[in-house]
């Protein structure tokens, strides 16, 4: 399955590649074959990058799941920072069930998403009211293509693991963990959106 919003990119490269293929077949244009080969490689990259596999969490209701594929690059108090490389799936998911109460889009710069100052980049703040309190998910764009594609709007009710949007190319997702959850991941851990538990509800004494 391909991510929502990916078809314009794929169709554009497919059209360009087709033109090079026709030029290589019908003309003696010296760069036609090279253009065709390059186009095919870019198409393969886009199909890999824009993949959007189904995810079914095996974790119970007491778990908070990762909103993004990638690696935990920082833990700041109750905030987890997840960096996504090119090979990661870039579709993000709701870490807990709840209602989207507020969304705020902010323009920004070109700082690499793994840097601590990347909060100055283009980003989308999503606030979700859950039964455990309000959480915030921040989608932060990277240096190459600053484009965040939301799949949701204010007032939507989200199931845990439901798709909330995607960030194109290198990027980061930050998420706050409610106080009544125990963080169970560490800096450097690999996580998967909609699948990996990042925090667990505290047991009642």
With tokens 């989308």, the residue in question is 124
Which run of H or of E encompasses 129? strand 123-130
pTM: 0.81
118 confidence band (pLDDT: 50, 70, 90): low
Cα torsion angle, 121, 122, 127, 132, sign:
negative
pLDDT at 115 over 70: no
The model's pLDDT over 143-185, given as tens digits with 9 standing for 90+, comes to 655 578 899 999 999 999 999 998 876 688 999 999 999 999 9
| CA atoms of 11 and 150, how far apart (whole Å) | 21
Which run of H or of E encompasses 92? strand 91-93
18 is catalytic: no
For 163, the 3-state DSSP assignment is strand
Among candidate residues 6, 118, 171, 197, the one labeled active-site is 171
Q: What is the pLDDT of residue 41?
A: 92
Give rounded-to-5 percent helix, strand, coil for the chain: 20, 35, 40
Nearest CA to 83 among 178, 187, 200?
187
Q: How far apart are the first and last CA of the chain?
A: 44
| CA atoms of 194 and 94, how far apart (whole Å) | 7
Least confident span in 17-31, 72-86, 109-123, 154-168: 109-123
């Amino acid at each position: 399955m391909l991510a929502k919003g990916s078809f314009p990119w794929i169709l554009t490269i497919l059209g360009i590649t087709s033109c090079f293929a026709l030029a290589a077949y019908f003309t003696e244009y010296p760069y036609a074959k090279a253009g065709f080969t390059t186009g095919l490689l870019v198409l393969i990259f886009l199909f890999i990058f824009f993949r959007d596999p189904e995810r079914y969490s095996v974790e119970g209701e007491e778990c908070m799941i990762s909103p993004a594929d990638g690696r935990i690059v920082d833990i700041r108090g109750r905030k987890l920072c997840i960096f996504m490389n090119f090979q990661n799936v870039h579709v993000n998911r709701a870490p807990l069930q709840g209602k989207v109460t507020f969304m705020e889009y902010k323009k920004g710069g070109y700082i690499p998403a793994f840097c601590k100052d990347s909060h100055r980049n283009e980003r989308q703040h999503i606030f979700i009211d859950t039964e455990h309190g309000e959480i915030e998910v921040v989608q932060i764009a990277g240096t190459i293509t600053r484009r965040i594609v939301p799949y949701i709007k204010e007032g939507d009710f989200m199931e845990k693991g439901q798709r909330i949007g995607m960030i194109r190319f290198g990027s980061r997702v930050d998420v706050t963990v409610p106080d009544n959850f125990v963080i169970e991941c560490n800096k450097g851990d690999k996580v998967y959106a909609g699948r990996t538990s990042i925090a667990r509800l505290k047991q009642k004494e």
